[in-house]
Amino acid sequence: MSLSATSPLGTGPAAKAPRAQTAGRQEARWVATVAVLLVALLAYFCIAVPDFRDLGVSGILGLSEQFLFTGLIALGEALVILTGEIDLSTGAMSSLSGIVMAALWQQGINIWLAVVLALIISALGGAINGLFVTRFGIASLLVTLGTQFIFGSVATAVGGNAPPYNFPKAFVRLAGTGSVGPIPNELISFAVIAVVVWLLVARTRYGRGLVLIGYNRAAARYAGVNVQRTLFSSFVICGVLAGAAGIFVSGYYNAARDDIGNSLLLPAITVVVLGGVDIFGGKGRMSGVILAVFLLGFLDQGLLIRGNSSLTATMVEGIVLVLCLMLKIALDRRAGVRLKESLQRRFGSARRAAVLPDT
């Protein structure tokens, strides 16, 4: 989604329009680059790694079951990061969701009802984050850092010494290892959710509001965007998607663990940045994030199949995140946007907007 549709609502529309058009072209080129890199990566592994090539189309598609739950978290993170905020509690939220679902099922509740209740609890967790950010004005970095430990501790307490496992076969097939022909059920579910989120951001007033809040919060208020409500809802949606990720990962492993989401946060944020979403908010396209899910996911799986350790794969994720941030800053400078200007625009406008009532 480009800022060309939103930046004229800010001050000085005539001056902002050329920069908005440049930003839109830059976003489109970034998405195209991610798509090319994905194709090149798959081609490399198919040519250079025989074990990867021998998997065939069905096996390669099956690899997506290893990382699509990270993609669900990334979709939610992207919504929050577009507004200029961040949610560090999503990994712990995933663990809590899976544990709650499993614990309820162990108490005799139908597994599908347990799934719904776990998602409701995830929404409440996102609402707690959103409430502290919007009503009490606490920085999301601090709020979600705190709730990360709270959600993780609750998951540990609920899970106990013997984490639940061996779920009903129907649940495991649908949310875990089942497939329709060569296409995993998890991939189908992710595709549906990704399309819905993409439409929400790229084709609705709500999505335009998310981007405008991240670009200039004061301008968003003047444009009629209910900043508090939009921010609050972004955290709720992020919580629900993190909860869904916990359910999918529990279905895939046929077990729920209180630490299962700990390793999902860094890859999810890396996917968002790799997909082209500005870490300061206000710029980015969901299509880039969706492509980045597969780019980073297949990169990790390809490295593991090639014989590299999981530690190496994690190190590569960190390197990719740093390189993407450096490249984004360099491209912004080339387009005439300085890092200091981005910080002033984001945090300065947030301070000014704090004293303005919502409409």
As a whole number, mean pLDDT of residues 89-93 equals 95
Give the pLDDT of residue 353.
45
CATH class of 3-7+34-353: mainly alpha
In order, the DSSP letters of 228-252 are HHHHHHHHHHHHHHHHHHHHHHHHH
pLDDT in tens, 160-193: 777 788 899 999 998 888 888 889 999 999 999 9
> Lowest-pLDDT range, 94-103, 242-251, 350-359?
350-359
Question: Coil, strand, or helix at residue 179?
Answer: strand
How far is it, in rounded angstroms, from Cα 296 to Cα 304?
Answer: 12
Give the pLDDT of residue 359.
46
pLDDT in tens, 115-149: 999 999 999 999 999 999 999 999 999 999 999 99
How far is it, in rounded angstroms, from Cα 142 to Cα 146?
Answer: 6
Predicted TM-score (pTM) of this structure: 0.86
Per-domain residue ranges for the chain? 3-7+34-353
How far is it, in rounded angstroms, from Cα 2 to Cα 21?
Answer: 8
pLDDT in tens, 63-73: 999 899 999 99
